Amino acid sequence: MADLNKKTVAQLKALCKKQGLETGGRKADLVARLAAADDAADFTEADLKKKTVAQLKDLLDEKGLSTSGRKADLIARLLAGGGDDDDDGDDDKKGSGSNGKRRAARGGQATKKAKQAAAAAADDDADDDGDEESEEEEEEKEEAVVKRKAGSRCAVDKFCPMADRFHVYEDHEGVWDFTGNQTNIGQNNNKFYILQLLESDDKRTYHTWTRWGRVGVPGQNKIMPGTSLAACKASFMKKFKDKTRNDWYDRANFVKVPGKYDMVHIDYGADDEETAKHEEALKKKKKAQAKVKKVESKLAPSVQRLMQLIFDVKKMTQAVVEMKYDVKKMPLGKLRPEQIKAGYESLKTIEDLLKRNAGRRALADASSEFYTRIPHVFGMRVPPVIATTAMLQEKLQLLEALEDIKTAMRLIDQEGPDASEPEEDQHFRQLKCDLTPVEKGTDKFTLINDYLQNTHGSTHRQYTMEIVDAFEVDKDTGYKGGDNKMLLWHGSRISNWAGILSQGLRIAPPEAPVTGYMFGKGVYFADASSKSANYCFTNRSNNTGILLLCEVALGKQEERLSADSYLHQTLPKTKQSTWGKGRVAPDPKDTIVIDGDVKVPKGKLADTGVSNPHGYTLQYNEFIVYNTKQIRFRYLLRCKFNYKY
């Protein structure tokens, strides 16, 4: 440090250039930059193991770090490069009180050398730079009101106090932003780690920002000032390596390491230029809408209401929050397909363990992996072990909902800036389907309502349903038709319907477990309205649900009394669907035929006499097809669920 202070500005700049550091700034800046770069010098573990304990302590003392502990501790401390100030090992068990203060003190020691060097150099040139200093202070005051760079694809962490003057750095390698998640049920760990390389809006200053703690709370944080972009990159990459045991530049091939953080894959969307254009277009749209008279929608009022409902981001958020998903860690629409795929793979592992009657410890480890990949909020409670088929199915439903919500968010993001077109009309256009209101009192409405009311099961009497709005649907689903057509029910959460109407009903992907699907991976329908209505997951406070009536070409059916989760693989080639036979079904004598060959089983539910001599008997019929080209959307119902208790 003393040697650096003796050098001229020209010599310091030459050293900076040689080390690949920035050469701008005053003498104090150059000295601090070189000192910090020296602090950040990497050691290989092999080199450190060759040194004696005394030599290791000398290195630590030189860096202002603790010299206590065994040789292994000293080596680990040096490899961390002073980065253990945010060691989050006990974050789930300790608060941010005295422990946080001790960490802050250690963090202060790590930069002691650089601060001393900067102070000494500042004394050297204090007499020369008085005017320059005052000018820079004025510039900083002006910069304090500068917003983050337009077009940035990643927001600065909301707890960072510099968010108004800095943005997340991005280069040809991508966005320098990392969100990590780690769950360990055995240790009651459910924690996050955020790492960002921040660049000032004037592109002159760089810092590394970290925040860590238990999911659901702000946790602790630290700003690590950098002397250059290169130094901050080195700090960022080292921290990433420490927390994940993966290399930043090879993160495309990220591999989860036990005991380390998993990387949450974030979809940063369009490139910088496209994002900037999109943001500017949205600003123009809002300004234009504020100036012009509200434009009337071209849609029927009932269709407008439906668009408002299925594109309501708050309802989408509420749906997944009820399933414990962490929307703060992983905002809706930012979750990438590979993250959801990894979640399915974790559930597949749990399925295999359940089939083998594996012990609770193995299930706990697999559940921890799932929660690490798909962030959840459990407060201070221990994350529950996914140890039953019902719990597994619940998590499958979460992933399915996330897929549909991601589609809805993408549609919203794609909408144009035209202020002359109401938002509901833009939503509707994105769906690429026609919705024609079915008026009450018409024959069609009466038929649909009879089918709804007559087939409401006796085991679902906690609520009644009434149709608020009905629509005839015209959607290109690739329907090929076929024999044995029936009009059947399908229900789903409100949060899923923008995705369903835009992309059609989908079959679970190969990586998904089969346990949650009684008759294999397919699209499930019912001839009892309330059987499907239960999948709307309504309640007293959220009592609006959506049901779909589909024309399904069932063809020749495989009739089953017992579950077989692999039927999508083993269904005979001569069969086109599966019929899971229930003990009650619509009375066949009241079935009618519409459009020449589509059966509508609208009779009241009656006993079928079906009984499974080998075990559980289904209460209601289930119909499953394994090819979406056998499905045609016919009617969509917005229903009010009237709960009795």
Residues carrying an active site annotation? 622
- In SS3 terms, 39-53 reads as HCCCCCHHHHHHCCH
Helix, strand, coil fractions of the chain, as percent rounded to 5 = 40, 20, 40
Q: Which residue has the tokens 């008279």?
A: 293
Distance CA 44, CA 78 (A): 10
Cβ atoms of 626 and 520 within 8 Å: the answer is: yes
Cβ atoms of 227 and 113 within 8 Å: the answer is: no
Nearest to 256 by CA among 358, 325, 355, 345: 345
**SS3 of residue 533 by DSSP:** helix
CA end-to-end span of the chain = 76
Encoding tokens for residue 588? Answer: 């066949």
- In SS3 terms, 201-235 reads as CCCCCEEEEEEEEECCCCCEEEEEECCCHHHHHHH
435: which residues sit within 8 A by CB, 6+ positions away?
Answer: 303, 306, 428, 471, 472, 473, 474, 636
**SS3 of residue 487 by DSSP:** strand
CA 532 to chain centre: 27
Nearest to 111 by CA among 92, 135, 148, 85: 85
DSSP-derived pairing of the beta strands 523-525 and 485-492: unpaired
> Given phi > 0 = left and psi -120 to 50 = alpha, else beta, which region is 154?
beta
Kindly list the distances between the CA atom of residue 566 and the CA atoms of 125, 509, 513, 516, 517, in Å, as whole numbers in the listed order: 78, 14, 10, 11, 9
Kindly list the distances between the CA atom of residue 612 and the CA atoms of 359, 390, 561, 562, in Å, as whole numbers in the listed order: 31, 22, 6, 7
Nearest to 307 by CA among 437, 217, 400: 437
Distance CA 575, CA 584 (A): 24
Burial class (CB within 10 angstroms; exposed 0-12, middle 13-18, buried 19+) of 391: middle
Run of H or E residues at 471 = strand 463-474
Nearest to 600 by CA among 448, 439, 446: 448
Burial class (CB within 10 angstroms; exposed 0-12, middle 13-18, buried 19+) of 351: buried
Q: What is the DSSP string of 169-197?
A: -EETTEE-EEEEEEEEGGGTEEEEEEEEE
Distance CA 96, CA 310 (A): 41
The values of phi and psi at residue 382, to 5°, are -70, 130
Distance CA 163, CA 567 (A): 53
